[in-house]
Amino acid sequence: METMYLVGFMGAGKTSISQELAKRLSVPVYDTDKEIVKSSGKSINEIFATDGEAKFREIESEVLQKMPSEEAIVATGGGIVGAERNRLFLREKANVVFLYTELSEIIKRVEGDDSRPLLQKGNLDAAETLYRSRLPLYRETANIEIDTSGKSIPAIVDEIVERMKN
């Protein structure tokens, strides 16, 4: 199996779904955000604060390029599709799954999660603008789209596995 990449907005379930999918398929799972922290020795918030978003995106692209090409599941950061180089890289892959979720559901899922300041009540307009700008990029990048709204993680994983067979 070629590596499967999960893309989608923050709160779409990439991390949770990747873990369940990896168990189901008996392959390792990687999370680009965790790999960025490992390779840089800094938290993502620290990278943004000290080095800026441009440096974070540079590291993110490097990490993406280093992911295994076979027998793995990779959960990507929500903004990975912002860089054209990343979209081009992912479009060459056979298994890129866009986990689509309505913004209203994302907001419900991450309510009270202080690690996602963009989705706090005062920033909802900015979050909606970002969400709308990324939607076409996710769709342009992925070859499979799964609507995760209102579905359990096992049901989403079942749907991904079924769609991969076709």
How many residues are there in the chain? 166
The number of CA neighbours under 13 Å toward the Cβ of 106 is 24
Is 108 contained in some domain? yes
pLDDT in tens, 61-79: 999 999 999 999 999 999 9
Whole-angstrom CA distances from 65 to 27, 92, 96 are: 19, 12, 14
Number of structural domains in the chain: 1
Residue 53 banded pLDDT, cuts 50, 70, 90: confident
Is 103 contained in some domain? yes
Residue 59, domain CATH: 3.40.50.300
What pLDDT is stored for residue 121 in this prediction? 59
The CA distance from 138 to 162, in Å, is: 21
Range of the domain at 72: 4-150
Is 111 contained in some domain? yes
Is 98 contained in some domain? yes
pLDDT in tens, 116-166: 545 555 677 888 899 999 999 999 999 999 999 889 999 999 999 999 887
Is 125 contained in some domain? yes
Residue 45 banded pLDDT, cuts 50, 70, 90: confident
Is 146 contained in some domain? yes
Least confident of 16-20, 59-63, 102-106: 102-106
Is 44 contained in some domain? yes
Is 136 contained in some domain? yes
